[in-house]
Amino acid sequence: MAFPQSRPRRLRQSPALRELVAEVRLGVSDLVAPLFVREGISSPQPISSLAGVMQHTRDSLKEEVRALADLGVPAVILFGVPAAKDEVGSGAFDPNGIVQVALRELREELGNRIVLMADLCVDEYTSHGHCGVLNAAGDVDNDATLEIYCKAALAQAQAGAQVVAPSGMMDGQVGAIRAALDGAGFHDIAIMAYSAKYASGLYGPFRDAVDVQIAGGGNRKGYQQDWRNAREALREVAADIEQGADIVMVKPAMSYLDVIASMSQRVDVPVAAYHVSGEYAMIKAAAANGWIDHDTVAVEQLTAVKRAGADIILTYFARWFAETQQ
C-alpha cells in the first residue's frame, strides 16, 4: 500500500509546537561572561569596538558580577588591563596584580554564587604583546613561558579563582599548570584549556579591550593554530586531556563549528566555545546599520554553537541574553 507523504511542516505550525519539538535549547546556564577589569581608572571605560562592553573598575566589576549572578549567569572569566607592562608580564602573577585583587574581592563578596574563572596568559601584561617570554631572537620561548604560566596559575588560585584558563597555546601548558597546582595543594582548581585557539582575524576588538599591540606588527601564527587545520585541533585536545584538562575550548566559535562538532563527539569532558569579540562586534555593527535583526541573529549564532556540541559558551552577549529571559 502507498503511505501518506511525510510533511515536516506539520511540526512547525505554531510557536508552542515548534518549542515542543526543538532539538536544541539555549539557556542562560550555558553562558560565561567575559569581563575586563582595568587598573588605575576611576570610572568604567567603554570599548569603542565592543558596543556595550566596558573596561571595569574594581567597584563596577563587583556590581556587574553581582548583577550577572542575580540573572542566573553561572560564571564569569576575568581579563586584566594593568597600569604598566613589562617584558615578562609580571602583572599576571603578581599577588597584587589587577586580576588577583579583583578575584579576592569577588570571592569575598559573592562566595560561591558564581564561578570565577581567570584567563591565564601574559599578552595583556607584556610590553611586546606576545603570549609568552621572548628569547634573544624575538621568538616566544615555550619552556620559559611555562614557568610564568605556573606562577600565574598559583597566584590566581590563591586569589580565589575556581577555574584557570590557559590561553597561550604553549606546548605542555596544561600538564605544567596541573603539576604546579597539585604541588601547592590546589587539587580542586579546574583547568579550562584553550585547546584549539586559532590564529584568527576576529580578535581585533579584544585587543582594543586589553590595550594589546603585538610588537613590530607581528602575529601569533607560530603558536596559535592554523585556521586551515581541523585534525590538528583534535591532537591538541587529546594532549590537553591527557595532561589533565577538565574542560577543552575552541576559539573562535562560528568559523569553527566543524571543530566543535568533532570535539564534542570524541571527548568525555565538557566542550567550551568562545564566541569572540569580532563575532560579537560584527553583529552589533550590522544591526546598528539596520542590515540585520540584532536579537534574532545573536540567538541564532549562539544556538548554532550549542547545536554543534558546545556545553559552555563564552560570549559578550551573556548579560543581554539573560535579561531577555527574565
Catalytic annotation present for 306: no
Q: Which of 151, 251, 284, 306 is catalytic?
A: 251
Can you tell me which residue has the cell 554564587?
113
Contact 214, 128 (CB under 8 A): yes
DSSP character string of 140-190: B-HHHHHHHHHHHHHHHHHHT-SEEEE-S--TTHHHHHHHHHHHTT-TT-E
> Nearest Cα to 165, choosing from 221, 90, 240?
240
Contact 297, 287 (CB under 8 A): yes
Helices (H), the chain: 15-21, 58-71, 98-110, 142-159, 173-183, 204-209, 231-243, 257-266, 277-288, 294-308, 318-324
Catalytic annotation present for 251: yes
Residue type, 205: P
Contact 48, 30 (CB under 8 A): no
Q: Which of 62, 85, 151, 197 is catalytic?
A: 197
Query: What is d(CA 221, CA 225) in angstroms, rounded to the nearest whole number?
Result: 7
DSSP character string of 89-119: -GGGT-TTSHHHHHHHHHHHHHTTSSEEEEE
At 238, give phi and psi (nearest 5°).
-60, -40
DSSP character string of 256-269: GHHHHHHHHHH-SS
C-alpha cell at 125: 601584561
> Nearest Cα to 206, choosing from 167, 178, 256, 172?
167
Residues labelled catalytic: 197, 251
